[in-house]
Homo-oligomer: A and B are copies of this chain.
Amino acid sequence: MATAEVENREWYVASYAPTGVPNSDHLKLRTVTLSLRAECIPDHHVAFQILYVSIDPYMRTQLSGLDDGLSLPQIPLGQVIRALGIGKVVRSKDAKFSEGEILMSRFCPVSEFGVLPSNLLQKINPDDEVALPDYLSSLGMPGITAWVGIEKIGNAKEGSNVYISAAAGGVGIIAGQLAKVKGCRVVGSVGSDHKVKLLKEEYGYDEAFNYRIETDYDAALAKYFPNGIDVYFDNVGGKMLEAVLNHVNHGARIALCGMISEYNKVWTEREGVRNLLNIVGKEVVMKGFMVGSYYNHFEEFIKEMEVHLKEGKIKSKYKIYNGIESFLESLTSLFTSSNVGKVILQVTP
C-alpha cells in the first residue's frame, strides 16, 4: 500500500450547470499530491483508499449554483465532489480504525484517496453473505430510502395498489420488491422495454410500462390501475405526478422521494402540476422526505432488510462503472434511462 505521497485524482466543480445535464465543462478531473505519511495525517483522522462511490440523482442538484428547493448545499466552485463511499484504511491516526479495515462515509470524496476525521466515518464488517456494493444499495441509502417511502410514508399494505416511477433505478428496484413482500400489487414505469421485461421477469413487478412509448401517462395509468392508486412512490415529479393525481384513490399516500424529471431545469421552467385540487377531494397525503432524517430507523431497517435478502425475497441490482475517470459518465447515465439498478463507481478494483 502507498505509504508516502500519492498522485490522487479527484473530481471537482469547475463551473455550475443551472440547466441541462452536467458535462466536462462543469465537472473536471485533476491530480493533486496527497501525503499519506503519518506525520501528515492529523490526529483523529484516517487516510483511506476509495473502493466504491454511490452515484445518485440528488448529486445533480448540488451542481446548479442555484437554490433549487432541496436543502442540500451547492458545492463551492473548485471543490471536490463528495458522496457516499466505501474505502479501505491505509493510515489511521485514530485508535478506532486500523489499516486494512473497511469504512463507509457520506463525505467520501470522489477521488482515489481521502483523509477524513474519524467521526465522519463508519466501520463496516462485510461477511460472505453481503457483497460490498450491497452497502451502497439494498442495505444502504437506496434501501432505506425505498423502505421509508413504502413503509413509513406509503403505509403499503396487503392489497394496496402501488405505483413506482423510475422503477428500475437504485431506489425504485428495491421499493418495488419491498412492496411485493408486503403483498401489494405493484406497477412501475421505466425508460426502456428492456427494463419493462426485467422488472416483470426478474423483480416480481405485476406490471411495468415504458413511459417513452406510452407517452399518454393518463391513459397508461388508467390501463394499469383499473382500481386506482393507493400508494405512489415518486422519483420523477412533473407530468407523471400530475397524471398520478388523476388516478389516486381516496386517502392515497404519495411519498415524494425525488424529481429526476425536474433536476435539469431551473424551477420556473419546471412542469407545473395543475390538478392539486385532487389532493383536497381525495384527502391525499403528500409527504416529501430526505432519507437523512430517518437514519434513526437504520437498525430497524437493516434488521428487516437482511431477512428479505437472506430469504431471497429482495435481490440487489447494480451497474458498476470502473475507474475514477468514469465518474462523469456514471453520473450522466442517470439521466438517460440506460441503467438498471443502483449506479456505483468502482474506483479501485
Which residues of B have CB within 8 Å of A288?
278-285
Which residues of B have CB within 8 Å of A278?
69, 288
A residues 240-293 in Cβ contact with B at 8 Å: 241-242, 245, 250, 256-259, 262, 267-290, 293
Number of interface residues of A (CB under 8 A): 40
Interface: A71 (CB within 8 A): yes
Q: In the assembly, what is the distance between CA of A280 and CA of B259, in Å?
A: 9
Interface: A207 (CB within 8 A): no
Interface: A40 (CB within 8 A): no
- B262 lies within 8 A of A277 (CB): yes
Contact of A280 among B258, B275, B280, B283 (CB under 8 A): B258
Q: In the assembly, what is the distance between CA of A285 and CA of B288, in Å?
A: 7
CB distance from A240 to the nearest CB of B (A): 12
Q: Most chain-B Cβ atoms within 10 A of its Cβ — which of A69, A72, A269, A286?
A: A69
Interface: A341 (CB within 8 A): no
Interface: A70 (CB within 8 A): yes
CB distance from A219 to the nearest CB of B (A): 15
Contact of A290 among B69, B272, B283 (CB under 8 A): B283
Which residues of B have CB within 8 Å of A306?
none
CB distance from A71 to the nearest CB of B (A): 4
Q: In the assembly, what is the distance between CA of A241 and CA of B277, in Å?
A: 11
CB distance from A236 to the nearest CB of B (A): 11
> Knowing that A262-B277, A268-B274, A285-B286 are A-B contacts, what are 19 other residue pairs whose CB atoms are under 8 Å apart, sorted by A's residue number?
A69-B277, A71-B281, A72-B281, A241-B276, A259-B277, A267-B277, A269-B274, A271-B272, A272-B273, A273-B276, A279-B286, A279-B287, A279-B288, A281-B290, A282-B288, A283-B288, A283-B293, A284-B287, A286-B287
- Residue contacts A-B, CB under 8 angstroms, 12 given: A68-B277, A71-B281, A72-B281, A237-B277, A241-B276, A242-B272, A270-B274, A272-B273, A273-B274, A280-B289, A285-B286, A286-B287
